[in-house]
Structure 1
């Protein structure tokens, strides 16, 4: 291991440009993924905050009898997706409207009859607030003959979920493209290093050095390139996060385990790229 470490560090000194290119290629591949990860994470957090306010409001006709309303409440509360149901009668609906819409308070006060309908306000359990689940529960409530209308903001809820899926897909495509570029750069660097040391490698083989012994410096070089690239990517992502937070809008930082995975991914990527390259090109020496 001391020999492998010495040779790995020596390779960085002999070919600093290639080593730097390997580190930068890995860093930018992971940085792009980190940016989209930051975006996707904040979109998810925004969705979670929106989901907390997701509510199905079912407006009832004036012909609904107390017995029908009581039976419907019991049935809707029994649904596995439903967390709570609140019945708002016509009087409460008018009082709420007068409190929230003060500019129309006099208009409401001058009315001979209450034009606002009674309603059910249905909140859903955590994990049951996606568009398909909300729509399914809404249709179930809509099936009651005395329910005049059901609203839950379907369009904006679908839009937010679509944005999250698009962000995740774009992150995979662009991150994969950068990862491919990084692999090519690392493989090229390893191949040049192997070629430059072909006489030394040939002598080591003549004296009985195993393939593992010969390969170990190159693998450590790739591992260190990946580690440095992962750390640089994490630093770049953190810098971007701070810039966004101080100049544009407030965003949340990624969970610490995501950062650890980024560094580990860079380390593993550098090691695997070097392993594939060195096994392929050592046979040509």
Structure 2
């Protein structure tokens, strides 16, 4: 193992510029992927706060018996998607309108007849606040005979889903494009190293060295480049995170960074990226050496 490590480290000295280019390319590919990951992570946190306010409102027909509504709310509360159910009577709806709609307070005060219907407000559990789940629960609420109308801001919920999906797809596509470029550059670096050591490899074959003994240093070299690139990408991501957070004058003070598990995943992905490029390049080039 010591010999493999020594040979892998020596490869950096033999081609320092190409090695630096490989590490930098991996770093920037993972940095790009990491930036979109940070955007997606913080967007998810922001959406989680917004989604907590996602509410389905079922308006109740005037004159519906209280017992019917009580039984229905108990039934709705038993839905697996439902977190909380709240019944708002006609009087409570009017009082809320007077309190929250200040510009219409005088108009509501002079009313002889309450025009506002009673309603059942439904909040959903985390994991069931996507457009599909909201639509399914709304459809079940429409099935009650006493429900006049159901509203939940369909377009708004669908836009939240759409925004979340676009962020993930764009980030993944750009990151994979950079990853492909990184693999090509690592492959070129390994290929040049193999050509430089062609005579040495031929001698090792003559004395009976196994193919894995020959390949080992090159594979380790690729893995080390991926490791360094992954670590460098985390530093770049953290620098970008601090820059955005500190330059926002407090408006982005709530930004979050990757968890330790996320950071480990990025580094491991970098190692696999470098190792994969080395495996492809070594396997192809050794046949010609």
Quick check: TM above 0.5?
Answer: yes
Aligned-partner Cα distance in 1 for 2:74–2:126:
20
Where structure 2 has 5 or more consecutive residues not aligned to the other structure, the ranges are: none
The aligned residue for residue 72 of structure 2 is 72
The aligned residue for residue 121 of structure 1 is 121
Aligned-partner Cα distance in 2 for 1:112–1:243:
58
The aligned residue for residue 207 of structure 1 is 207
Aligned-partner Cα distance in 1 for 2:236–2:21:
16
Instruction: Decide whether the 8 Å contact of 1:63 with 1:146 is kept in 2.
Output: no
The aligned residue for residue 81 of structure 2 is 81
How far the C-alpha of 1:73 sits from its partner, in A, is: 2.1
The aligned residue for residue 271 of structure 1 is 275
The aligned residue for residue 41 of structure 2 is 41
Cα deviation per residue 1:75-129 (whole Å; 9 max; x = unaligned)?
Answer: 3223222222111111111111112123322221111111211111111222222
**Worse overlay, 49-58 or 220-229:** 49-58
Where structure 1 has 5 or more consecutive residues not aligned to the other structure, the ranges are: none
Aligned-partner Cα distance in 1 for 2:11–2:203:
18
Aligned pairs for 1:42-57 within 5 A: 42-57=42-57
Cα deviation per residue 1:164-219 (whole Å; 9 max; x = unaligned)?
Answer: 11111122222221111111111111111110111121122222222222222212
Q: Tell me whether 1:17 sits opposite 2:14 in the alignment.
A: no
Aligned-partner Cα distance in 1 for 2:97–2:259:
41
How far the C-alpha of 1:284 sits from its partner, in A, is: 0.9
The aligned residue for residue 281 of structure 1 is 285
Runs of 4+ in 1 over 3 A off after TM superposition: none
- Provide the TM-score with structure 2 as the length reference: 0.93
- Provide the TM-score with structure 1 as the length reference: 0.94
Number of aligned residue pairs: 285
Q: Tell me whether 1:252 sits opposite 2:239 in the alignment.
A: no
The aligned residue for residue 217 of structure 1 is 217
Give the superposed CA RMSD: 1.6
